[in-house]
Structure 1
Amino acid sequence: MASPLSPAPVRAAHVRVSGVHLSFGGRPVLAGVDLVAAPGDRVAIVGENGRGKTTLLRVLAGDLPVDRGEVRRAGSVGVADQQIPLGVDDTVGALIDLELAAVRGALARLEDATAALAAGHPGADDAYAAALAEAEALDAWDADRRVEVSLAALNAVDDRARPLGTLSVGQRHRVRLACLLGAGHSVLLLDEPTNHLDAGGLDHLTERLRAHPGVVVLVSHDRALLADVATSVVDLDPSSDDRPRVYGGGYSAYVEARRAERARWEALHAEQVAERQRLADDLSTAQNRLRDNWRPEKGHGKHSRATRAPGLVRAVHRRQEALAAHVVAVPPPPTRFAMPDLPEHRGATLLRAAGVTVADRLAHPVDLELDAGDRLVVTGPNGAGKSTLLAVLSGDLEPSAGTVIRARSVRVGRLGQESEPSGSRTAVELYDERLARSGLPGPGLGELGLLGGYDRRRPVAELSVGARRRLDLALVLAERPHVLLLDEPTNHLSAALVDELTAALGSTPAAVVIATHDRQLLRDTGSWPRLAL
């Protein structure tokens, strides 16, 4: 039996992508992507930042033409991307009406068709049947109620007269997501839908996606959501043949298959590099023998050198040809995240907060102490004050009441949820400046394994959301902090990077405080102390 919130069974929902290629400015972004999804399929698109996940969603939505390949869709499409389509002066009601435009249009067409049928207009029977089928496919009569239910479940603002400019970024995204979950679209395309959701919102989103009768295609860093929802995975990350991979069996099957494939890739590349080195060593040995044998030996004439020389020359040529013929065909695997050595500050409490509150943002007084190597996870629903607390601890926000004492010479680094204003400077310029400011030696930006060479040299304003998030993390680490404050650190980061970052945070000598809703991160840090707001 269908859930009371479920739309009517989807009559037509289909997505098919075949051999899609797309480049920007001569730089390949998508290369040979294949994807087939039918009703009931929930496809996760994964990959490192900058690999084209959001671009692929835009292709599926019909917003971007491809250079080569075929894209086919059937059914109405609802898109939740990272940009809100209205301005700050528009209202919550306007956003709801925009996202329910297909529903409003279907009901209007049904009303017109009903009137034409009652008036006995020619062809009215067929027009009425088509309009009724469209409205039934969207379950249009119940859409507003479904939106209201999702607004409440996502803790989203339901005052339709309220201007969007008075809402936080997270509040606006929750309103939009509630609309899409209630609109009854055949195909849902979701880009990072878990950002800005608390535990209750995550549970509701998971339930709605699992119950969706049509096609769901989502990009998400949330490993718990992918494990609970995805039926297949499209991996856009680099592979041994540089082709995207499609994995069935859900997210857990993908993780295991990807791990095994990565191990084979690394082993094969290492074998080819080792073989090339062996051939180079053989050539060097042969060249040395050739040079040595051209030196006259005591008691021997020139004729003895002449008889050996041709054979040695041929040996050198054979080894030169073998080395030239041996090409390392397997590309090197991508680099892994390398956490820099953060300094340890012993002998005193690094940071102490006593009775800290912030008017209208952090209501309940907070007391805490942090020593070197301490770990803490801050939890609580949206609006409880998690981000506010981290801003107070870092010194970026003054508390309304209470005190924060930081030990002398202690450096505190905070990764916020939103990036600082960007400009024309490149990522590596900003990083090098921040590293120099710390006064301590540290790895270069490329050594961290966070940004590729192309992104390191680009102006920050041109970086993708995910690449900018990686740069934000790099800039915080460049400060070489004794205390590391991370606000939703998994937002916009790939699952692989999150796994590597989580492991690194567990072993750094710095004190680490994390504020997060990420269910998998909460599981991975299950042994850390908790502060519930």
Structure 2
Amino acid sequence: MTISITMPRRSRAQLGAVDVHLARDGHPVLRGVDLAVTPGSRLGVVGENGRGKSTLLHVLAGRLEPDSGTVRRFGSFGIAEQEMTVAEGRTVGDLVDIELAHVRAALRALDESTAALADERPGAADAYADALEIAEQLDAWDADRRVDTALEALGAVTDRSRPLAEMSVGQRYRVRLAALLGAEHDFLLLDEPTNHLDASGLDYLTERLQQTRSGVVLVSHDRALLTDVATSILDLNPSRDGRPRLYGGGYAGFRTGREAEYARWVSEYAREQAERARLESDLESAQDRLVTGWRPEKGTGKHQRATRAPALVQSVHRRQEALDDHAVAVPVPPLQFSMPALGAEADGIDPDTPLVRVEDVMVRGRLDRPVDLAVLAGSRLVITGPNGAGKSTLLAVLAGEVEPTAGTRESDPVVRIGRLAQESPAPSAAQVQQVYDAHVGELIVAGLVPDQGAVDLDELGLFTERDLGKRVRDLSMGQQRRLDLAMVLAARPHVLLLDEPTNHLSITLVDELTDALGATDAAVAVATHDRQMRRDIAHWPHLVLGSAPKECTRKGPKP
């Protein structure tokens, strides 16, 4: 008896790629990808938008052929893509059956072999033994219970007769994810699986991925999930030689390795540039000598002048050839965020006087319980609380942008406060540099920043030279968020108020920003749901809205 579907291979399962290249419309998407995944290992895949993360999953699943290189696949696969089409009339139960097709087939094969064994057909004993082994490997009898448990834990629809077309996108995604988690495939290929999950769903997904026997390839921007789940990280972002980098040691190993790789890249690029500058200087000196330096003093014979001139010409030619041969092989390193110098103490503000203080402030319908808060120079604060508790409103009150309906707010006019809102304003048709320069001009006219005191946009490391000429409305959401951050930092604020600062930003920039917030001399208050950022700043003082009033005190030594 033969089972005609792909069954899990467990310890013998293999998934690997060797030197995989793929281009679309003449543009390289994947360049030299090498990886190996075995059951039980968990590979995180990271990279900026457009770096080929989803494309790589399609290649690994066999849905897309690479232009060159090889992919090895042996075993069963379950894939959760970001996009999900729904066939007419399909139900929750249909979607579960699709993901459990191999389980259903194994149980049918066991039933058929059992009947053959009862009829004493030739070869029935061996067929029964094979079918029983497969069913036991899959724990096939428990598959539907596993799916039901996952549906409940992820907050998905449990009614298997419910038509998918009547459900929201998030509900359909959760059903599919629950079915995948219950299917016991050899490999799970997951593209941003945290989309549409709440806190309890995230906890359940994390636990299941940590415990699964499947090999996992996880594309995600969720740093907490990568930290908790990934055993290695494949970075598709630009590298010195253009090829992806594979880092062991989980997400922590990736961060350490990436920083070391970047430092080497910057060092090599600087050496290349220095060598080219030296060659250019040598050429310029040789050219100067050719024009003036070879002329002998009066009385020198013509034959001496004739002898020296060709030697200088040859020197110029040699130096020109050396410069032409010195092609800069190291590409320009990627951008790295650089926090400008901030802080009230540098501007002579009394460090023991609150930069901003609120007492018993309330905003009707938005901040319904009174809050007392004093923000001192260099202090740190995490503002937490459920949705609707007034976190964003409190930040706006501290910034002086919302008037409280009760209580008082005090701040010295010389104190500069910058607030990053949750979402970007409507994008402008003007270019990035023009929008930023106009903002700085307004700050100067308003007397909020000295004429020479504003931050130059190019010193922040947020935009390439090419991006500065783009219209704001043509930027990605992440790039618009970078511009928002730049404009908050432009006036060198003494107090930074950040509302969900990781929204739309890349993993790399979020890590760099988090490190910078810990080191800056400015006072910082953050409201965020980002699980990894909350872990990274867990040692900061916390203000839980809805609890007893607290004061944000001056911070101690930097960790």
Q: Normalised by the size of structure 2, how large is the TM-score?
A: 0.72
Match of 2:420 in 1: 414
Match of 1:100 in 2: 96
Correspondence 1:443 to 2:445: no
C-alpha deviation, 1:450, in angstroms: 3.5
Partner deviation per Cα, 1:320-370 (whole Å, 9 max, x = no partner): 1222222222223222113356796978755748565887x9887655455
C-alpha deviation, 1:98, in angstroms: 6.2
Deviates more, 1:450-459 or 1:496-505: 450-459
Letter in 2 for 1:512: V
Match of 2:552 in 1: none
For 1:324 and 1:198, the matched residues in 2 are separated by 59
For 1:54 and 1:362, the matched residues in 2 are separated by 42
3-state DSSP of counterpart to 1:475: helix
Partner deviation per Cα, 1:424-452 (whole Å, 9 max, x = no partner): x78x83564365245245434x6543355
Describe how 1:319-334 pairs up with structure 2 within 5 A.
319-334=319-334
C-alpha deviation, 1:390, in angstroms: 1.9
Structure possessing the higher relative contact order (Cα contacts under 8 Å, 6 or more residues apart): 1
Specify which of 383, 387, 410 is matched with residue 385 of structure 1.
387
Which runs of 5 or more residues in structure 1 are unaligned? 1-7
C-alpha deviation, 1:31, in angstroms: 0.5
Contact 2:86 2:164 in 1 (8 A): no
Specify which of 365, 372, 381 is matched with residue 376 of structure 1.
381
Match of 1:19 in 2: 19
Letter in 1 for 2:208: R
For 1:194 and 1:37, the matched residues in 2 are separated by 21
Letter in 2 for 1:189: L
For 1:214 and 1:128, the matched residues in 2 are separated by 26
Correspondence 1:245 to 2:231: no
Match of 2:31 in 1: 31
Partner deviation per Cα, 1:251-279 (whole Å, 9 max, x = no partner): 44444444443333333332222222222
For 2:84 and 2:31, the matched residues in 1 are separated by 28
Letter in 2 for 1:325: D
Cα distance 1:119–1:166, how it changes in 2: closer, same or farther (>3 A)? closer
C-alpha deviation, 1:213, in angstroms: 0.7
CA RMSD of aligned residues (A): 4.9
Contact 2:355 2:377 in 1 (8 A): yes
Describe how 1:248-327 pairs up with structure 2 within 5 A.
248-293=248-293, 295=295, 297-300=297-300, 302-327=302-327
For 2:470 and 2:140, the matched residues in 1 are separated by 46
Partner deviation per Cα, 1:447-485 (whole Å, 9 max, x = no partner): 54335567667788887xxx5324313224324475645
Describe how 1:94-133 pairs up with structure 2 within 5 A.
94=91, 97=93, 100-106=96-102, 109=105
Describe how 1:336-485 pairs up with structure 2 within 5 A.
336-340=336-340, 350=356, 352=358, 354=360, 356=362, 368=373, 370=375, 373-379=378-384, 384-385=386-387, 389-390=391-392, 393-394=395-396, 413-416=419-422, 429=431, 432-433=434-435, 436-437=438-439, 439-440=442-443, 442-444=455-457, 448-452=460-464, 468-479=477-488, 480=490, 482=493, 484-485=496-497
The percentage of aligned residue pairs carrying the same residue is: 47
C-alpha deviation, 1:50, in angstroms: 3.7
For 2:359 and 2:135, the matched residues in 1 are separated by 57
3-state DSSP of counterpart to 1:39: coil
Deviates more, 1:125-134 or 1:174-183: 125-134
Partner deviation per Cα, 1:41-80 (whole Å, 9 max, x = no partner): 1112233444322332233244444333333434443334
C-alpha deviation, 1:147, in angstroms: 4.1
Match of 2:226 in 1: 226
- Answer with 1 or 2: which has the greater Rg: 2
3-state DSSP of counterpart to 2:431: helix
For 2:242 and 2:274, the matched residues in 1 are separated by 22
Letter in 1 for 2:96: L
Contact 1:336 1:449 in 2 (8 A): yes
Contact 1:151 1:174 in 2 (8 A): yes
Match of 1:212 in 2: 212
Specify which of 495, 498, 511 is matched with residue 499 of structure 1.
511
For 1:135 and 1:238, the matched residues in 2 are separated by 45
Contact 2:103 2:138 in 1 (8 A): no
Letter in 2 for 1:284: E
For 1:168 and 1:352, the matched residues in 2 are separated by 42
Partner deviation per Cα, 1:194-214 (whole Å, 9 max, x = no partner): 567676555543332221111
Cα distance 1:136–1:415, how it changes in 2: closer, same or farther (>3 A)? farther
For 2:235 and 2:12, the matched residues in 1 are separated by 26
Cα distance 1:12–1:294, how it changes in 2: closer, same or farther (>3 A)? closer
Q: Normalised by the size of structure 1, how large is the TM-score?
A: 0.75
For 1:75 and 1:115, the matched residues in 2 are separated by 23
C-alpha deviation, 1:312, in angstroms: 1.4
Which runs of 5 or more residues in structure 2 are unaligned? 1-7, 444-453, 546-559
Number of positions where the alignment pairs a residue of Structure 1 with one of Structure 2: 508
Letter in 2 for 1:506: G
Letter in 1 for 2:98: A
Correspondence 1:524 to 2:520: no
Contact 2:16 2:72 in 1 (8 A): yes
Cα distance 1:173–1:109, how it changes in 2: closer, same or farther (>3 A)? closer
For 1:366 and 1:165, the matched residues in 2 are separated by 44
Contact 1:19 1:33 in 2 (8 A): yes
C-alpha deviation, 1:235, in angstroms: 2.5
For 2:99 and 2:148, the matched residues in 1 are separated by 15
Letter in 1 for 2:480: L
For 2:84 and 2:371, the matched residues in 1 are separated by 34
For 1:356 and 1:373, the matched residues in 2 are separated by 25
Letter in 1 for 2:38: A
Cα distance 1:388–1:24, how it changes in 2: closer, same or farther (>3 A)? farther
